[in-house]
Amino acid sequence: MNTQPIGIFDSGIGGTSIFKEIHTLLPNEHCIYLADSKNAPYGDKPASQILQLSIKNTKLLLDKGCKLIVVGCNTATTNAIAYLRANYNLPFIGIEPAIKPAALNTKTKTIGILATKGTLSSHLFHKTSDLYASGIKVIEQVGEGIVPLIESGKLHSDEMKELLTSYLQPMLKEHIDYLVLGCTHYPYLIPMLKKMLPKDVSIIDSGLAVAKQTKAILEKHHLLNEEKSSPSIKLYSNGSLDILNTILNHQFETAYLDF
């Protein structure tokens, strides 16, 4: 099992931000990534559909022999990971908005969270928020329209800048000092966000924490790949490979897969 791949799936290309963190931290590990771009975004879909899509992706990664699966999508984590863990016999790593570090470190006692509707409306999100953000003002903002723009190659467009401005202004009026990114697509916005936000507002995403958790779980289950040969990295999309290759700077092997 140790030389079997790590599987990662997301509603499109966003989870590649998680894949890159995992690949950097665990360079010996073989990886398979599924970009379910055909069904992106997950964030505005009903919970039952998100669950079915997550099951479909999980079954495909199991067919490809994965030893561990990273649910590289906040919306899928909050709506499906409990079911996946209960019904499949391998470790699952989920992704949640990094509310805890923001709530613990805020000086203004006000933090902003930019996430999908599916994440912000989920039971798991509210449970985490109640646990760590008691006494903290949390400004929630649904990032409607962001994922489709990224998936269509409009990451740096004027349309994206206008959208982000409209989402950030209410948060800044409330004097947030932390902005939590609650979708794996959103780390690709960080260079733009840094130009738009005051220097005293810190941006937090979950990528490195997820990579560290992946390593810890592999160690716990004695599943780390000790071989030093070059790993097999395969990224599949049921949408445009152009967007996937661009976001990855053409560094990895990509292929179209109808799933």
Which residue is catalytic, options 183, 201, 203, 247?
Answer: 183
At how many degrees (to 10) do helices 16-25 and 207-220 cross? 50
Given the residues 73, 95, 138, 149, select the one marked as catalytic.
73
**Has 73 been annotated as catalytic?**
yes
Told to judge if 66 belongs to the known catalytic residues of this protein, a careful annotator would answer no
Catalytic residues, which ones? Answer: 73, 183
